[in-house]
Amino acid sequence: MKKTLSIIFLLLICMHSMSQLPEYGLHIQSYPLQNSEFTSMALEDGKYIETKREKITLSFNLWVRPDNVFGTVFRIITDNNKNIDLMYSVSDNDRRFPILVTGDAVHPIQKEVRREMWTSANVTLDFKEGDITVSYDSTEIKVKYADLKGVEGIRIAFGYCPFENFSLADVASVNIRDISIKRGAEEIRQWKMARHNGDVCYDEISHIPATGKNTRWVIDQYITWKKIYSQHFVSSPSVAFDPLVGTFYVATNKKKLYVFHTDERVTDTIRIKGGEFAANYPNQLIYIPQRQQLLSYNLNENLFSAFDPVTQCWKGTQAPVQEHDYWNNTLVYNPANSSLISFGGYGHYHYNNKLVISYPYEDTPQRQLSLTSIHPRYSCSSVIVDSTLYIFGGRGCPSGRQELSPRNYYDLYSVNLLTQQVNKLWEAPQTPVGGDFQPCENMVYDAEKDCFYLFSTQQGGTLMRIDTQTPHFELMSLPMGLKLESQYLYSNLYYSPKQKKLYVAIHQAEVSGKADLDIYELNFPPIPILSFKQPDVVEGKTDQSKHTYLWLYIVSGLLVISGIGALYYKKRKEEIDRIKSSAKEEKSPTTNTSQAEGANTLLTKEMPEIKIEMPISTPDLTFHNYDFSKKCVCFFGGFHVVDKEGNDCTALFTPTLKALLILLILYTGKDSKGIIGHKLIQLLWYDKAEESAKNNRNVYMSKLRGLLDKVGDIKILNQNGFWSIQFEEGTICDYLEALHLYRGNNGQDLEKLLELLLRGMMLPNVENDWIDAFKNDFSNDTIDLLCRLLKQEDLSDTLKLKIADTLFQHDYINEEALCVKCRILCQQGKKGLAKTVYDTFCKEYAASLGTEYKYSLMEIIE
C-alpha cells in the first residue's frame, strides 16, 4: 500500500509540472542508420485498441527533420490484417509531400512538407461507414476504405513497424509528441512522449504503456552531456577554465598553449616564447578570474608561474625538479586572501590528509596542516563557500598506506578556514545506488538551491547533487557510459555564468604520457533525472481505471497532505511544550502581545535610541507576534516564500524572479516610492539592448505578479516611473516589518523586532553587489541594537544567549557577545563549553585581525 501511494504521489507531481516541460518528443531514428537501429514505438504496448464500433481519432504533433523525409510516419494494422499508413513520398523536383496508404492504394495529400517546425496531424477512422478522414497541416482529405467496416480492434506503431509480417524498410526522420486517441467524443489515451521510463512512455489518462525500441527522447538533451571538444596528446596536458568568458586553457608543456572557446567551438594555438612552467604534473594549472590570470603551480616546491598574454611567456624562472607528491589532490582558489588551498593527494605509495595553503601573490611561507579527523585520501572534491571549505569523498585508508586496503569514501566535511575547525556533516552508510564512484576534483556550489554539484565516475560518468543535510546522491544527468580505465584519470567540473552551462573536462593518460582530453557541456541549472522519469506501474487497462486513478490521486494527495500536517503540528506541539517547561523552570513572567501591523517604511541611517522602561516579556523565547506559516515573503534565515495555502513555493522563483522580488522589496523599504525604471533595468538586464531589456522587465513583472497572487494580496505598483511592492493586510514580509519596527520606541515594538531578528541573518545565501549594500546597512543597525540590549540587566539569560548567537552571525568577532555568552555559560556550570566558545573566538580573531586577543577567559567572565 505504501509503495502504491508513493508511486501515485509521484504521478501527481508529474501531472502538476507537465505544463512546465522543456522541449520534448520522441526522436525517431531512421536512415542513414541500419534498419536494426531504427526507432519503433508501439502504442498500447503493441496490443489491440478496442473500437467498440465507434469512431477512433488519432491525433499527434510532428516535427519533420531534413535528414530523411521519406518513408513511414505511422502504421495502423486492423484486426482483419489491413494496413493504414501515413508516409512521405517524392514528387517532381524532389518535392516531399504526405500520402495516406490503405492496403496498396495511395491517396496524396496536396501539402508540401514543412521541415523543422511543429505540425499537427490527425486521422479519424469510421468503422461503421468505412471512411477515413485525414487532416495534415490544415489540409484535409477523405477516403473510402471498405475493409474498415466492422473492425473491432487496431494496433498502432510510429516509426519502424514492429508487428510481425507488417514491417516496412523506409522510415521518415520525424519527432513525434502529444499523441492522443479519442473513441467517439471521449479521449481515452494521451501519450505526451515527454517523461518516460527507459523505452516506455505511459499515457496520462490510464497509465497504459507505449513501448519503444531504439528510443531517443528529445527531453533527454537537458540531462545528457554533449561532447564539444576532443583531442589526443603525446604528453599529458594541464587544463584550466576561465568561467567569465567560457574559455579552456590546455598547456602541454612550456612550449604550447591551446585556447578552446566554448561559445564558438574553435581552438587557438599560442606558441610560448619563454619562461618556466611551474607544474611538475598536469593537474597543477588554474585560472583565477579575480585576477584574470592563468597560473601554473607546484605544491612540492612552492613554485608559481603566471602566463603573460602580452609577451606570451610564463613569468616563472625556476623549473620544477622534485617528484610529484600530490597526484589527484583537490585545489581551490580562496579570494579572501588570494591563496591556493589544496587537500589530499597521493605520492610515494601514500595518501595524505594535508591541508596545504600557498600564497602565490605574497612572500608568505606555505602552510601545511594535517586534518587528522579526515582519513588520508586522494581523488576527493572540494569547493569554497564564504569562509568554509567543503570536502567530499575520495579514495584512501586510515593509515594512508597504499598497500593497506584502500576504499572509497562517501562523506562530507566542512572546514572553517578562519579557525581550521573540521566538522563531519554526514557519511553514507553504504555503497550508493548505482555502484561505487570517485568524484571529480572540484564541486560547483548552487547558492539558489543551497546544494553542490559534482561529476562522478559512476556508470562511466554522471552528474550528482548533494547537500549538507543528508547523505543523499541525486542523479542530475544521464550516464555517459565512458570507459574510464586509464592509469591516470583527472576530471574537473566548471560552471560558466555567461553560458549558463556546466562543463566537465575528462583527462585520461597512460604511463607513457599519451593522453586524451574530452570536454562536455550540460545546461545549467541541471534537472533531476527523476523529474523526467515516469513511475513504472501498469494497472487498470480499462476505462474504469481512469476513474480509479483519479480517485487514488485525490485520496493519496489528501493522505500525504494530512500526514505532513499532522507531523508538523506534532513537532510544533512538542516544541511548545518544551519551551513552556523551560519557562516554568526559570519562573519568569510572560505577557500577551498583539499582532504586528505590516508597513513599508524607511530604515534611517542613524537608528533612534531605543530605551526599554519595562522588561521584555520573553525570557523563554516564546514569541507569538507573527505567523510565518502562510502568506509571507521572508528574508531572515534565508529567502523563503509561503503561499496562502501554507505551501512552500520558494522553488517556483527562478533566479531572475527571485532577484526581481528582492530588488522591489529592498528599494521599497529604502524609499516608499520604490526604484526608478531605468535603475531596475540597469541592475537586472544590463547586458541587453534597451528595447529587449524593457520586454524582459515586462515579462518578468507579469510572471512575478502571477506568483505573488498565489502568496496573497501583494501588489506590484508602477507610479510615475517608479516600481514598488505593497503587502496588504494579512500578508507580511519580515524585512519590511523589521524596518517599520526600527522606528518604534517602546517595549512592545522591540519584542516584535527581536522575534524577527532572532530568525537569522538577512538573505545569508544571496550574494550580489547591490544586495550587499542593503545587507551591510541592516547588519550594522542590528549589531548596534543587540549590543545595547545585552547591557540590560532585566533580560533573561536564555534570551541573552540567543541575542549573543545572533550577534555572532552578524559579527563573528563581537566582543560583547563573547563576554555575555561565556559569563552565562560559566554561571550555568558549563565551563568546558565556555572555554570552547572562547578558543574558537580567539582563533577567528587572530586570523581576521592578525593579532592575538588580549583578554583571558577569566578576565572576560569576571
| pLDDT number for residue 475 | 94
For residues 96-104, give the mean pLDDT.
93
For residues 709-734, give the mean pLDDT.
91
168 CB burial (10 A radius; 0-12, 13-18, 19+): middle
13 to 17, 19, 188, 371, 708: CA distances (angstroms): 6, 11, 21, 44, 21
Task: Indicate the pLDDT class of residue 280, thresholds 50, 70 and 90.
Answer: confident
Using left for φ > 0, alpha for ψ between -120 and 50, and beta otherwise, residue 250 falls in beta
Residue 281 has pLDDT above 90, yes or no: no
CB 747 within 8 A of CB 612: yes
CATH number of 25-216: 2.60.120.200
Query: Mean pLDDT lowest for which of 489-493, 577-581, 635-639, 716-720?
Result: 577-581
Q: How many residues does the chain have?
A: 862
| pLDDT number for residue 627 | 86
| pLDDT number for residue 3 | 43
CATH number 2.130.10.10 given to 224-532: yes
Query: Mean pLDDT lowest for which of 135-139, 338-342, 567-571, 828-832?
Result: 567-571
Helices and strands, counts by H and E, the chain: 12, 49
Residue 556 has pLDDT above 70, yes or no: no
| pLDDT number for residue 37 | 92
Residue 567 has pLDDT above 90, yes or no: no
| pLDDT number for residue 610 | 38
CB 173 within 8 A of CB 28: yes
For residues 291-316, give the mean pLDDT.
92
Residue 562 has pLDDT above 50, yes or no: no
Task: Indicate the pLDDT class of residue 775, thresholds 50, 70 and 90.
Answer: confident
Residue 666 has pLDDT above 90, yes or no: yes
Q: Which one-letter DSSP state was computed for residue 645?
A: T
Task: Indicate the pLDDT class of residue 747, thresholds 50, 70 and 90.
Answer: low
Residue 376 has pLDDT above 90, yes or no: yes
Residue 120 has pLDDT above 90, yes or no: yes
pLDDT digit string (tens) for 627-638? 888 999 999 888
Query: Mean pLDDT lowest for which of 566-570, 776-780, 855-859?
Result: 566-570
Query: What average pLDDT does the chain have?
Result: 84
| pLDDT number for residue 688 | 80
Query: Mean pLDDT lowest for which of 15-29, 128-142, 226-240, 629-643?
Result: 15-29
| pLDDT number for residue 463 | 96
Residue 680 has pLDDT above 50, yes or no: yes
For residues 24-34, give the mean pLDDT.
93
Residue 509: enclosing H or E segment and its boundaries?
A: strand 501-509
155 to 100, 128, 594: CA distances (angstroms): 17, 18, 69
Q: Which long-range contacts (CB under 8 A, 24 or more apart) does 257-261 make?
A: 257/307, 258/231, 260/229, 260/519
Residue 620 has pLDDT above 50, yes or no: no
For residues 671-689, give the mean pLDDT.
85
Residue 815 has pLDDT above 80, yes or no: yes
CB 344 within 8 A of CB 377: yes
The distance between the two most distant Cα atoms of the chain, rounded to a whole number of Å, is 104
Percent of the chain residues past pLDDT 70, beyond the cut = 86
Query: Mean pLDDT lowest for which of 210-214, 441-445, 485-489, 516-520?
Result: 485-489
* Three-state DSSP string of 244-284: CCCEEEEECCCCEEEEEECCCCEEEEEECCECECCCCCCCC
Picking from 461, 464, 483, 489, the residue whose alpha carbon sits closest to that of residue 474 is: 464
Task: Indicate the pLDDT class of residue 506, thresholds 50, 70 and 90.
Answer: very high
For residues 723-747, give the mean pLDDT.
84
Task: Indicate the pLDDT class of residue 623, thresholds 50, 70 and 90.
Answer: low
Residue 565: CB atoms within 10 Å: 11
Percent of the chain residues past pLDDT 90, beyond the cut = 50
Domain-wise residue ranges, the chain = 1-22+547-586, 25-216, 224-532, 632-811
Q: What values do phi and psi take at 302, rounded to 5?
A: 55, 45
| pLDDT number for residue 580 | 39
Q: Tell me the residue ranges of DSSP E strands in 79-173.
A: 83-90, 96-102, 105-108, 118-126, 131-136, 139-144, 153-159
Residue 839: enclosing H or E segment and its boundaries?
A: helix 831-849
pLDDT digit string (tens) for 405-428? 789 999 999 999 998 899 999 999
Residue bearing the bigger pLDDT, 491 or 607: 491
pLDDT digit string (tens) for 358-375? 999 998 899 999 999 999
Residue 504 has pLDDT above 60, yes or no: yes
Task: Give the separation between CA 340 and CA 334, rounded to whole angstroms.
Answer: 6
For residues 784-791, give the mean pLDDT.
80
pTM, two decimals, is 0.58
Task: Indicate the pLDDT class of residue 558, thresholds 50, 70 and 90.
Answer: very low
